[in-house]
Amino acid sequence: MKLTVFQHIPYETAGSIESWALSRSAEIISVELYNHQRPIIPSDSDLLILMGGPMSVNDHDKYPWLADEKVALEKTLKSKLPVLGICLGAQLIANVLGSRIYPNRFKEIGWFPVERVDGEGGMSEWLPGKFEAFHWHGETFDIPRGAHHIARSEGCENQAFIYNDRVAALQFHLETTPPMLREMIKRNAAELDNSEYVQTPEEMLEEHHRFYKINGLLDTVLDRLLGR
């Protein structure tokens, strides 16, 4: 099994996905877009994963490789390859499917509850009715036409959607590990203000059991995406 991972910044890695892949003898092909690697998806890939990053999908002037990534993603969404988008990755999927990306009413940085939105699309059943997830985003998306809204939070209505029963877009993070979060805090400390949905570094790092829970939930999502 082979996973292709589009990485947008050095410190937002595949995180716990690496442990999942190791336990299932899967190979990860990392495409470092920030290092000007081309967004090529090998023909034998079983899954495309789009990671997060601090940039906006609209930042073409600063990150010209975003345009090439969107072209590759558009082709992939028309194929049968399963896709998982996380945070920026989810926003890229929404954008390529024709939805606008814009500032959310609140920044969400920290651990906050997410609730499942029940409706059409069996993939919503992969998520618990209510769970805690890690968040680090200031923008959000409209749910694309033809997609199914599957999760919301108090601070952000559109937290996740599914498309064509093989594409999952998650605004929140389930892959985050403690070392990954410490690096995110170090690199983006200026974003940590006193907003309503922004926690302190101490609050974000104090309970390690939270990471095990979200990483386990992501294992389930990955298994189901791949029909395991």
- pLDDT, mean of residues 208-228: 94
| CA dihedral (102, 9, 34, 79) positive or negative | negative
CA-based radius of gyration for the chain: 16
CB within 8 A of 148, min separation 6: which ones? 119, 120, 121, 123, 124, 161, 162, 163
Which residue is listed with tokens 């200026």? Answer: 190
For 157, the 3-state DSSP assignment is coil
Whether the pLDDT of residue 52 is over 90: the answer is yes
With 0.85 as the threshold, say if the pTM is over it.
Answer: yes
**CA–CA separation, 79 and 57 (whole Å):** 22
Whole-number percent of the chain with pLDDT over 90: 94
Averaged confidence pLDDT in the chain: 95
Give the pLDDT of residue 125.
Answer: 79
Give the pLDDT of residue 45.
Answer: 97
Whether the pLDDT of residue 221 is over 70: the answer is yes
Positions marked catalytic:
87, 173, 175
- pLDDT, mean of residues 143-168: 96
| Structural domain of 121 | 2-225
Q: CATH number of the domain that 67 lies in?
A: 3.40.50.880
Model confidence pLDDT, tens digit, residues 92-145: 999 999 999 999 999 999 999 999 998 655 666 789 999 999 999 999 999 999
Angle at Cα 194 formed by Cα 117 and Cα 54, nearest 5°? 65
Model confidence pLDDT, tens digit, residues 174-213: 999 999 999 999 999 999 999 999 999 999 999 999 999 9
Give the pLDDT of residue 119.
Answer: 67
- pLDDT, mean of residues 139-155: 97
Domain count, the chain: 1
